[in-house]
Amino acid sequence: MEDKGDTCFQLCLDERDWIPGLPIIDNLSQSIQQSRKTVFVLTNTFLSSGNFKTAFYLAHQLLMDDKSDAIILVFLERSLQSSKYLRLQKRLCRGSVLEWPKNPQAQRYFW
């Protein structure tokens, strides 16, 4: 995704970009603050993890402080459509909730 011609994105990946030894919350906070957008690729397992809840809270704090739509939710599983996080995100920023296409041929156009 980082080097696909015209649609070039710079990603922040924890295993590559985070500072070893720095607490997770500090790495997470720094990553969100230095990003234009925070993309959450969601599964049922990740949605119930503490890391997601913390990251989502931090990203929403940035949204409230800066009044900028910095969060994009991508749902990999249809069952997540009733999530409280989805309801909150739809109220704050309707255009930033996406569903991963089930059709494998459509997936290459997603990003």
Q: pLDDT, tens digit, for every residue of 42-98?
A: 888 887 788 888 888 888 787 777 766 777 878 777 766 667 666 666 655 555 666
Q: 97 by DSSP, 3-state: which?
A: strand
Contacts of 110 (CB under 8 A, 6+ apart): 98, 100, 101
The pTM for the full model equals 0.62
Q: Tell me the CATH class for 14-107.
A: alpha beta
Q: What angle do CA 68, 70, 75 make, to 5 degrees?
A: 140
Element (H, E) at 55: helix 50-66
- Name residue, tokens 């009733």: 82
